[in-house]
A and B are shown apart, each in its own frame.
Chain A
Amino acid sequence: EPEVTQTPSHQVTQMGQEVILRCVPISNHLYFYWYRQILGQKVEFLVSFYNNEISEKSEIFDDQFSVERPDGSNFTLKIRSTKLEDSAMYFCASSEDLYNEQFFGPGTRLTVL
């Protein structure tokens, strides 16, 4: 069964450093999403991406965040200058189109020290 994959599974970084979280969506999917989940809290939407552009972003997704689809398979989330409060699980999701369910990856745990 096809699945969304994410790397790394755990990333530890120092405050102020840049991190790139990587995702490989399901191959025939066209819509891509990033969500985050601070420990013990609910899952929150960050951004959606379609046709090489951002479709929608939340208030959390400020200028420190960016997304990119650098090739035909990867989808990345970059945080330019990490803060302590960026520590969370980051989930990538993808869907075939706007009318189908979103499939989530296993997540990347980001720890900012």
Chain B
Amino acid sequence: QQQVKQSPQSLIVQKGGISIINCAYENTAFDYFPWYQQFPGKGPALLIAIRPDVSEKKEGRFTISFNKSAKQFSLHIMDSQPGDSATYFCAASTGFQKLVFGTGTRLLVSP
């Protein structure tokens, strides 16, 4: 019940395209859903986060869509750029306490 399932495992998108990564959770006590971006050799960096009282949050080219009834949330990267090539992790927590991470999606944006 503590798991967060993430898909796809890897994704190749053309420059300018839309990247979509999906996550699903079981624990209804989760109330904070961040997305982290990780470049090789670096620590995860917070990209964008959402609380379950809203269904969508947009920051620049990055949008989180949240479906509370389905217990799913997704990251959309609009106008994907080669510099977006990284591993993306969804996560969930109760409050801002221990983060439960998804398994990661390796995104490659081809020029």
A-B contacts at CB below 8 angstroms, number: 54
Inter-chain contact B42/A48, CB cutoff 8 Å: no
Contact of B43 among A44, A48, A56, A91 (CB under 8 A): A91
Contact of B45 among A35, A41, A104 (CB under 8 A): A104
Inter-chain contact B49/A98, CB cutoff 8 Å: no
Bound-state CA distance A48–B99 (Å) is 10
- Name the residue of chain B whose CB is nearest to the CB of A43: B101
- Name the residue of chain A whose CB is nearest to the CB of B6: A42
Given A91-B43, A106-B42, check contact A42 B96 (CB 8 Å).
no
Bound-state CA distance A45–B94 (Å) is 13
Considering the complex, which residues of chain B in the window 62-89 have a beta carbon less than 8 Å from any beta carbon of chain A? 89
Considering the complex, which residues of chain A in the window 87-113 have a beta carbon less than 8 Å from any beta carbon of chain B? 91, 93, 95, 98-107
In the assembled complex, which residues on chain B have CB atoms less than 8 Å from the CB atom of A91?
A: 43-44
In the assembled complex, which residues on chain A have CB atoms less than 8 Å from the CB atom of B44?
A: 43, 91, 104
The answer, yes or no, to whether A75 is at the interface (CB within 8 Å) is no
Can you list 21 A-B contacts (CB < 8 A)?
Answer: A4-B43, A33-B98, A42-B89, A42-B101, A42-B103, A43-B36, A43-B44, A43-B91, A43-B99, A45-B100, A48-B97, A91-B43, A91-B44, A98-B96, A99-B96, A101-B34, A101-B49, A102-B46, A105-B43, A106-B41, A107-B41
